[in-house]
Amino acid sequence: VSTSALVPVVESVRWSPDRRAVRIVDQRRLPAEFIERDLATTDEVCDAIRTLAVRGAPAIGICGAMGLVVAAARANAATRDALSGFIGDSAARIAATRPTGVNLAWALDRVQRAAAGSAGDPGDVVEAMRREATAILDEDRAMCRRIGVNGVVLLSDGVRVLTHCNAGALATGGIGTALAPLYVGAERGLRIQALVDETRPLLQGSRLTAWELARAGIPTTVITDSTAGALMQRRDVDLCLVGADRVAANGDVANKIGTYPLAVLARHHGIPFYVAIPTSTLDPDTPSGESIRIEERDPLEVLEAGGVRVAAEGVSARNPAFDVTPAELVSAIITDTGIHWPPFDFAHGV
């Protein structure tokens, strides 16, 4: 089967038909409702990213880049100076929404460079930005496919793969990162069983990963996050495969909270722990995980479930959105350029 035929089960972020807005699938509403939303202003883009209407490091980067373009187009700036002032302010606001994933800052930087490098009037500048944002989307789609092709060799027929959060089509411009090898494997006729951590507190696993895998026809079992250890102990997990929001130069991996304990469990049980990322998630400028800023989210996300208070009154909560898995617990990092084995050294990219 040619993997070039693989299309994502869902397009989570793209241009609206007139390209004056960014069209996203509202991930807050899945799986109950499939609703698409158009974002056209800096405020709308920031709000969508902050509230996880659009989420997953690559998708956030794409949305931020495209959002900057549509906001700039609507700014109707009369001069290049006015436009570049608007772009700088807008990019800073979008970048501040979610600090842990490197893709957002990286994508905004690319679009800003395209703007700075364009000669001509404000209309030309916006066109150059639009081309760059489109390239970011297209490149992400291609990188996802290559991650799938590179990673599928780690899967065998009947393999039981445990994943955490959502690193699939919903989180990217293409077929995903951690889920890409599963999609390519299924396309090639491998029987794959997905085990999906529900991923407290916002349930990206049970709401999103399970939804898109089921839509693709891949047998999927949802487990509570705390069940992973027991299943590994029973030899019911063959390997773990997760995405990442930022990978430091030494191979330390920032990913959804709960990834680190999974890696510790996998090591204890002798189960491979793989991380799949596009090269846009590599951050050679960050030497190790220690310097990765971890986003802290609203404690109410922990104290409530589906908007209903479940924790006793009068208590507080901690809600870091991500954790850092030390490189020593990572068996391999799958990227669009190949499979990288320890010891990792990404100080000069891949």
Give the x-and-dash track for 172-191 against ligand MRU (CB under 6 A): x----x--------------
Question: What are the φ and ψ backbone dihedral angles of 47, each rounded to 5 degrees?
Answer: -65, -40
Helix (H, G, I), strand (E, B) or coil at 59: helix
By CB under 6 A, which span of 66-74, 88-96, 134-142, 171-179 interacts with ligand MRU? 171-179
Question: Which stretch in 89-97, 108-116, 243-251, 303-311 sits in contact with ligand MRU by CB under 6 A?
Answer: 243-251
Order of strands across the sheet with 282-283? 282-283, 246-248, 253-256, 322-325
CB of 127 to ligand MRU, least distance (A): 29
Does 330 help bind ligand MRU (rule: CB under 6 A)?
Answer: no
Secondary structure of residue 154 in the 3-state scheme: helix
* 171 in contact with ligand MRU (CB under 6 A): yes
Supply the minimum distance, in Å, between the C-beta of residue 114 and ligand MRU: 24
The rounded distance, in Å, linking the Cα atoms of 56 and 18 is: 25
CA distance 344 to 350: 10
Binding window for ligand MRU (CB under 6 A); candidates: 32-40, 89-97, 116-124, 240-248: 240-248
End-to-end CA distance of the chain: 28
325 is an interface residue for ligand MRU by CB under 6 A = no
Question: What CA–CA distance (Å, rounded) separates 33 from 84?
Answer: 38
56 near ligand MRU (CB under 6 A): yes
3 state DSSP class of 7 = coil
Comparison of 42 and 255: residue with beta carbon closer to ligand MRU: 255
Q: CB nearer to ligand MRU: give 14 or 256.
A: 256
Q: Which of residues 98-117 bind ligand MRU (CB under 6 A)?
A: 101
2-41 mask for ligand MRU (x: CB under 6 A)?
A: ----------------------------------------
Question: Is the separation of the CB atoms in 66 and 133 below 8 Å?
Answer: yes
The answer to whether residue 167 forms part of the interface with ligand MRU (CB under 6 A) is yes
Show contacts with ligand MRU in window 195-224 (CB under 6 A): 204
Considering the rule CB under 6 A, would residue 340 count as an interface residue with ligand MRU?
Answer: no
Q: Catalytic residue among 197, 245, 283, 336, which?
A: 245
Shortest distance (Å) from residue 64 CB to ligand MRU? 12
Closest approach of ligand MRU to the CB of residue 167, in Å: 4
Among 243, 251, 258, 289, binds ligand MRU (CB under 6 A): 243
Residue nearest to ligand MRU (CB): 243
**Residue from the set 105, 169, 232, 244 that interacts with ligand MRU by CB under 6 A:** 244
Dmax of the chain from CA atoms? Answer: 66
- Does residue 58 bind ligand MRU (CB under 6 A)? yes
Q: Rounded distance, CA 31 to CA 35, Å?
A: 10
Minimum CB distance to ligand MRU, residue 176 (Å): 6
CB of 204 to ligand MRU, least distance (A): 5
For the chain, what percentages of helix, strand and coil (3-state, to nearest 5) are there?
Answer: 45, 15, 40
245 is catalytic: yes
8 Å CB contact between 180 and 145: yes
* Residue 90 and residue 40 in contact, taking contact as beta carbons nearer than 8 Å: no
Candidates 118, 116, 115, 220; CA nearest to 166 is 220
d(CA 108, CA 37): 21
From CA 153, how far away is CA 239, in angstroms rounded? 13
Asked whether the CA dihedral 44, 46, 50, 55 is positive or negative, the reply is positive
Cα gap 40→28, rounded to integer Å: 19
Closest separation between CB of residue 230 and ligand MRU, Å?
23
Using CB under 6 A as the criterion, which residues of the chain lie in contact with ligand MRU when the complex forms? Answer: 52, 55-58, 101, 165, 167, 171-172, 177, 204, 243-245, 255-256, 321
List residues with catalytic annotation.
Answer: 245
